[in-house]
Structures are given as C-alpha cells and as structure tokens.
Amino acid sequence: MNDLHQLVSKFKDDQLLLPIWFENGSLKILDQLKLPFQEEYYTIHSVEDLAKAIKDMNIRGSGALGISGAYGIYLAALNSKGHIHEIHQAGQLLKSTRPTAINLMKTVDEVLSTVSGKPEEVASKVEAKVIEILKRQLEFEHKLGEYGATLIDDGDTILTHCHSGAVGGSGYGGRALSVIRKAFDQGKSLNVIACETRPYLQGARITTYELKKFGIPHTLITDNMSGFCMKNGMVQKIVVGSDRVASNGDLANKVGTYMHALAAKEHNIPFYTATSSHTIDFDTNNGDSIEIEYRDAAEVTHINNSPIALEGTKALYPSFDITPNHLIKGIITEKGVISAPFEQNLKVLETQFV
C-alpha cells in the first residue's frame, strides 16, 4: 500500500504543516498541547490511543479531527485485519470523543461506508477513501481561502478567535487562516489580532505560532480586549472558524466567539465564519439543537497543570458557544460566500455539498 505513503510524502515536500499522517504502519501526530515552544511528535499505534489524543486535545481543529477520524478507521482496518465489526466499534469510539465536532462524525461515517467485502480487501478500500478525503480537505482549504480573500481589503486588521489554521486542518491554513493566508499571499497588507482563547490558549499558542511561520504581522490580545479594540477602530473584519453550522446558519465555535460577534454587531464590523461543507449540519435546524461539549472544570482552574485558583474553587467550561445567524455577515465555504437569508441560501447549496 504505497499510494498513501506517496501522498504524505508529497504533502511534506509541499511544506504543509501536517497535524497527523500515516507512517510505517502507525500514525504520527503533532502534539498541539506542546506548541509553540516544542514541536513534539509522537506515534499512535491503536485507535484507543488516537481517541485519547483527540479527547485530551493533543490534536484538535475541525479539519484535523475529520482527518484523524479517517486515519483512525484505516488504522482499525489494518490492526483488525479487516474485521468489520471491530472497525465499526472503532468508529463509534472515535465519534464519541468530541460531540460538537460534526466533521469528525461525518468523516468517520464516510469512511465506514467503504468497509465491506472480504477481510483482505477492506484495508485497500479504506486507504482509497482516506486518500480521497485528504486531497479533498486540502482542496477545500485553498478554495475557501480564495473566496474569503475577496472579502479582505488591503490594509485590513482582522480579528480571529481560537485557532482555525493549518495544524487544525490539513496543513495549509485550516479555515480562518486559509482566508488570511490567501489574502496575504495575494500581496494585501494586513494585520491579524489573535485572541488568546482561554482556557487552552489556542490563539496565543498556535495561531500566533502559525502566523509567525507564514510571516503575517499579528498582535496578541486577551479575550476580554476585543470590544475595546473594535470600539477604537482597530478591527475592520472578524474571521473565525467553525465546529458546526446549523442549517439556519447558527454557528457553534470555540466559547467566546459569541461575545466577539455581539461586539462586532454593535460596532458595525463584518463577522464571518470560514468552514467546509462537512461542517454544515443540514440535519440540525438551529443552534439550540447542537450538543455543547462540557470539559473538565480543572482546565479552567489550572494552566499547564499549575493551579491559578484555590483548591475547591468551582469552575465551568463549556467548550463551545452558539453565535446566532443574525450576527453573521457571511459563511465562507469552498463553494463561495453564503449570505443571509442563510436557511434559504444554504438549502439551495445543500445538494452541491459533499
């Protein structure tokens, strides 16, 4: 099975920031919890270990989670020697790790749809589907970046929240950073304001890490400074990623997104989300129906396992929040930029989506 190896080699030659790849019968992942000070990679030998890495957020980001799901089914096919029941069990485990991440669920189901036939044929079928998904995800990033870049004017300062970039995608720019990177590569002068994104600090640790690698000027702020920046004319556009978009355009994204969207509405600043078709959930009518993942409160009371509050302090950590569609100027996809009325316009495009 050399096709997947050849594709991964090409991606590396293209200098993509790969978050996960297949190598010598196992998976290699970039530990995003160690960024930006350590670029540490480790080896995943089993689906159980991959599920733990996803749950613990060693690997995260909508696109990267979808790719991880595809690779996970391939790993299960190899390890089980094509045992269909075991592969489907692996799929259920992977889908249970991040309940808000629709891209992970859809991609796992897509790969599972190829699992049939004689055991000795299963891994080859799964490999072909994984290759298709990897190519498609990268193409999505380039296409949505091109559409999104048309919204960026020369001289803009763009605020983004959390990390929706290369190592959260397939290696080019993920979602939001695909838009920013394309605009920058087109020669537009721009600056990025990155919100730190408590409690995991994905903006401070990973977004700024990628922006530095891309050579894009940027400024880091704490999450509670965004309103100040908008009020004082320091922001012209907001572009964030997405973990799920309901069929009416309501957006589930990293907690804190909603408050940025409210401030943007107050100050008449366009608020966009960049996403792929796989992240649009046409089976969910609105944001109220999206399951929000609640994570361990210790992630709020501790940073890098060091306490920042007294023992016994009660804390809350909803990992995502819902931004209602009336606060969103446009949804940037690989099919184009979708504007309101979202329920009507998304429905028109539904049959074109993968």
**What are residue 199's phi and psi, to 5 degrees?**
-95, -10
Is 173:213 a contact under the CB 8 Å cutoff? no
Is 241:162 a contact under the CB 8 Å cutoff? yes
**What are residue 159's phi and psi, to 5 degrees?**
-95, 135
307 burial (CB, 10 Å; 0-12 / 13-18 / 19+) is: exposed
Is 203:220 a contact under the CB 8 Å cutoff? yes
What are the residues facing 26 on neighbouring strands?
Answer: 23
Scan for tokens 């509405």, then name that residue.
265
What are the residues facing 246 on neighbouring strands?
Answer: 281
Q: Which helix (H) or strand (E) holds 220?
A: strand 218-221
With CA atoms as reference, report the closest residue to 67 among 278, 244, 335, 239: 278
With CA atoms as reference, report the closest residue to 174 among 37, 18, 293: 18
In a 13 Å sphere around the CA of 108, the CA atoms on its Cβ side amount to 28
DSSP, collapsed to helix, strand or coil, labels residue 275 as: coil
**What are residue 143's phi and psi, to 5 degrees?**
-70, -45
The active-site residue, picked from 49, 156, 223, 243, is: 243
CA distances from 293 to 59, 91, 100, 121, 170 (A): 16, 19, 6, 37, 23
Q: Give just the sign of the alpha carbon dihedral 162, 341, 142, 52.
A: positive
The span from the CA of 159 to the CA of 156, in Å, is 10
Please give the full DSSP string across 35-47, using - where no structure is assigned: TTT---EEEE-SH
Active site residue 243: yes
Residues assigned a catalytic role: 243
